[in-house]
Amino acid sequence: LPHPLTRLLQFSPLGTYLILWEPYAVRPGETGLPNLNIYKGEEHVAQYFQKKQDHWCPQWTDDELVCARNVTNEIHFFEGGCPGSSPSSRLQQENLTSYSLSPGPPPYHIAVHIKGTKGAPSSVQLYRYPRVSGSGAVIANRSFYKADTVQLKWNTRGNGVLVLTTTDVDKTGASYYGEQALYYLSVKGDGNMVPLDKKGPVYCVEWSPSNNEFCVVYGFMPSKAALFNSKCDMIYDFGITHRNTAVFNPQGNILCLAGFGNLRGNMEFWDINNRKCISKAQASDSTTVGWCPDGVHVVTATTAPRLREGNGFKIWHFSGVLLQESITPPKNELWGVEWKPVPSGTFPIPDPLGPPVSSPLELVTTTSKPKPQAYVPPALRGKTQPSKEDSDSSGEVSKSKRKRDAQKRARQQQSGHDSKSGTESLKQQSQQEALATAQYILKGEENTRSSGGGEKEKRLKILRKKLKQIETLKQQQIEGKKLEANQVEKLKMEESILQEISQLEL
């Protein structure tokens, strides 16, 4: 398809349509082109201007008989599945920011978010298609005073929706990401707040495709994952660990709990019916995950713009076996990976307790994984880097140079001596002085032990400590080290210290 700048893509529920989105850009003096394109096979069926990335993709009902698209303060509905220039009906609301079509068979329902204004709360309203305007069109309504943004999650039957509300700022200061709450709203008009017993953000909310129950991952790290029913009662606790993702397979009998993004990529596969952990695996650096329609295989991917290095995807079996890995070539980026949808019921329900997979499936030919390379700062990239052998040899050279410099300094310190014998005599003198100092110290320790303490012994202890420091400085001077001015002054005090020690020991 002739859209090389495509950043996002998605299939319609039955795979009939392919939707492509690319960033909207206009050159000076030119008119911008539509950046949202819809294809049916190779046929280009529709195009629109969609400047914002938020809520960019049109939505279809599961049978693809109705399509909806968000326009400023309006939702346009197209019957027959194929979007066109003239909508069949419109839903108009001031400050309408987002919407969601219910899955399942008719009657179809629509949930819309109306953002609150100053002094007025936000709200979520439910409609039953095709009645989307006029008196009595709203079949359920819930107001929220703390809801700058919302996420809408329908159950598979299309008769209940979860509403995750988020504020931009948490006024209590408990969370950097704002304050969140989770509510359940039914098409009958009733609803409840979901009680979350661990403080912190809500990372993921996911309905089970087969049962009227949902999984929530919430709370400060390490987070908690739990299973709730439609009455908002907790029915199972998966425990506390580092997770932020929950995804059911299409058949609803296997749940994948994982920690992606800035977490280590640990995955757990759970048998929902028996409440048992099947397997564990690790998909490091993954940014996205998705189940294959067969309910057996999972794809994890490292994609841009979240990560621009090491892009690629992996295909797993729910038993934890890695079946396939594809690495994106260097200097290329992977922006998305999607399974093509198939009609519901195409694949049988998988057996979570079946035999494990022992051999990989040969799905596609992939590039071999390159060896990990050492990190190179951006300023040095593209330049010739020294090899390990060169680095080792340069280290040895620098070590030898330091040794030669030290020897040169030592010779300069000893340049005042006329011959080798003078140097030897200086060494002998230093050894004699060190021996005498040791004798003084030993004698002083014996006197201290016998006298039992006092001011005299304290003074002797201080003087001997100074004398020991002087001996250390003299040894450093012999080795060629240049002394500081205060250290030279301390050497001149040696004679007076020895005299004071002699007087105190009398």
pLDDT, tens digit only, all 506 positions of the chain: 888 888 888 888 888 899 999 998 887 878 888 899 999 988 998 999 988 888 899 999 988 999 999 988 899 999 887 787 788 899 998 889 899 999 888 899 999 999 888 878 889 999 999 888 888 899 999 988 888 889 999 998 888 999 999 887 777 776 676 788 999 999 988 888 999 999 889 999 999 998 789 999 999 999 999 999 988 999 999 999 999 999 999 999 999 999 998 888 999 999 999 999 999 999 988 988 999 999 999 999 999 888 888 899 999 999 999 998 988 998 889 988 988 878 778 899 999 888 777 655 444 444 444 555 676 776 676 666 555 545 444 445 556 777 777 777 777 766 554 444 555 555 566 566 656 555 655 555 455 445 445 788 888 888 888 888 888 888 888 888 888 878 888 888 888 888 888 888 77
The pLDDT of residue 398 is 59
The pLDDT of residue 387 is 54
| The one-letter amino acid at 400 | S
DSSP structural state of residue 175: -
In DSSP terms, which residues pair with 216 in a beta bridge?
Answer: 205, 226
Nearest to 129 by CA among 78, 85, 176: 78
Nearest to 433 by CA among 445, 441, 422, 423: 441
Contacts 24+ apart (CB under 8 A), 117-121: 121/145, 121/147
The pLDDT of residue 184 is 93
In DSSP terms, which residues pair with 323 in a beta bridge?
Answer: none
3-class secondary-structure state, position 495: helix
Contacts 24+ apart (CB under 8 A), 102-107: 102/61, 102/154, 102/158, 102/159, 102/161, 103/61, 103/62, 103/154, 103/156, 103/158, 104/62, 104/156, 104/157, 104/158, 104/159, 105/62, 105/63, 105/158
- What secondary structure, in 3-state letters, does 88-139 show? CEEEECCCEEEEEECCCCCCCEEEEEECCCCCCCEEEEEEECCECCCCCCEE
